[in-house]
């Protein structure tokens, strides 16, 4: 594809990046790329504790993995080895495993290549932690979404309750704070706003307001 359009959305866990990325991608009629799902899928496939394996052993397993993308907006489907990635990766526990794998250069290098390759084939709203800083530094539109830990834990709590899943607000707050700390302080590609990113503090905003701000930003 000639000159795909890349929009990046970075930010901490639970800030609503996926929801917003899907809707912005729908507005632009392009796919959205959930890069957290790529880290989660690797974590889910290799399993708890595998982040402590030898680098060569992890590399050998990564070499067997291929990510695909199809669809537009909220209908975008990310697949691993032709199998759509499902809801099983969406627990806070798998999120923490993903965060552990995300500290490993071998995993980041592998996913960087996979993400950039998708960005040559598709226009994307790409969301994650290092989209605007490392993966797509030349993207014309970059956003950084933020919100307080308490508000993010509340949002996650409400989401789990709506799904009928068990949820404990105190535990969720601790888990999100722990993951933030690890994502912001790792040596490779830590979570930080790109210099040219528009930062939106969503703590007191509803989804409609955030989406309106994003649409304005790409208009």
Q: Which residues form the interface with ligand DC (CB under 6 A)?
A: 13, 35-36, 39-40, 95, 98-99, 102, 128-130, 179, 183
Distance in Å, CB of 39 to ligand DC, minimum: 4
Six token digits for residue 132: 């605007």
Distance in Å, CB of 73 to ligand DC, minimum: 18
Q: Rank residues 161 and 184 by Cβ distance to ligand DC and give the closer one.
A: 184
CA distances in angstroms from 21 to 31, 82, 160, listed in the order given: 9, 23, 20
Q: Rank residues 99 and 123 by Cβ distance to ligand DC and give the closer one.
A: 99
Q: Rank residues 65 and 219 by Cβ distance to ligand DC and give the closer one.
A: 65
The gap between the terminal CA atoms of the chain, to the nearest Å, is 22
Q: Rank residues 123 and 175 by Cβ distance to ligand DC and give the closer one.
A: 175
CA distances in angstroms from 4 to 66, 110, 116, 140, 155, listed in the order given: 21, 21, 11, 11, 33
3-state secondary structure of 6: strand
């Amino acid at each position: 594809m000639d000159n795909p359009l890349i929009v990046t959305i970075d930010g901490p866990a639970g800030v609503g990046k996926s929801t917003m990325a899907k809707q912005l991608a729908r507005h632009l009629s392009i796919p959205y790329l959930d890069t957290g799902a790529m880290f989660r899928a690797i974590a889910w496939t290799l399993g708890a504790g595998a982040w402590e394996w030898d680098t060569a052993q992890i590399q050998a397993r990564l070499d067997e993995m291929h990510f695909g993308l199809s669809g537009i907006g909220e209908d975008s489907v990310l697949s691993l080895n032709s199998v759509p990635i499902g809801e099983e990766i969406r627990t806070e526990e798998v999120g923490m495993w993903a965060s552990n794998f995300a500290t490993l250069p071998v995993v980041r290098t592998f996913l960087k290549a996979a993400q950039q390759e998708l960005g040559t084939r598709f226009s994307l709203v790409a969301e994650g932690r290092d989209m605007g800083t490392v993966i797509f530094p030349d993207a014309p539109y970059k956003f950084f979404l933020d919100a307080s830990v308490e508000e993010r834990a509340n949002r996650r709590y409400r989401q789990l309750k709506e799904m009928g899943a068990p949820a404990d607000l105190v535990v969720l707050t601790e888990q999100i704070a722990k993951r933030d700390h690890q994502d912001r302080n790792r040596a490779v590609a830590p979570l930080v706003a790109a210099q040219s990113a528009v930062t939106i503090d969503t703590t007191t905003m509803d989804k409609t307001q955030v989406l309106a701000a994003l649409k304005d930003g790409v208009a």
